């Protein structure tokens, strides 16, 4: 199994195998492009919107520059998610 920052050569599965690992080199994002927490570039606003939909439950969000984290447009009150017994 490959360590973080490495991937199996030849697109093999990342399981216990005799195959070697290689560095998982991410692209350098162009000016104006956002970056995900996985290090991938978000080229369009649609890419950013789809990416943040994974992390923001309702209403989507936008990527905070340089962090790869989404700032959600709609934030639930904690009482809506977790009651006093939670």
- State how many domains the chain has: 2
> Model confidence over 20-30: pLDDT tens digits?
888 888 889 99
Choice between 49 and 9, residue whose per-residue pLDDT is larger: 49
| Claim to verify: residue 63 and residue 35 sit in the same structural domain | yes
Choice between 46 and 7, residue whose per-residue pLDDT is larger: 46
- Is 51:63 a contact under the CB 8 Å cutoff? yes
Q: Is residue 86 part of a domain?
A: no
| Claim to verify: residue 35 and residue 50 sit in the same structural domain | yes
First to last CA, the chain: 37
Domain range for 19 is 1-26
- How many of the other CB atoms lie within 10 Å of CB of 62? 16
Distance CA 17, CA 82 (A): 43
Q: Is residue 40 part of a domain?
A: yes
> Model confidence over 31-46: pLDDT tens digits?
989 999 888 999 999 9
| Claim to verify: residue 37 and residue 20 sit in the same structural domain | no
| Claim to verify: residue 35 and residue 70 sit in the same structural domain | yes
Average pLDDT, the chain: 83
């Amino acid at each position: 199994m490959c360590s973080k920052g490495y991937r199996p050569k030849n697109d093999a599965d990342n399981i216990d195998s005799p195959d070697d690992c290689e560095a998982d080199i991410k692209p350098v994002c162009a000016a104006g492009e956002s970056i995900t927490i996985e290090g991938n570039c978000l080229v369009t606003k649609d890419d950013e919107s789809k990416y943040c939909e994974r992390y923001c439950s309702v209403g989507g969000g936008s990527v905070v520059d340089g962090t790869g984290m989404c700032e959600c447009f709609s934030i639930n009150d904690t009482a809506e998610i977790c009651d006093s017994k939670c």
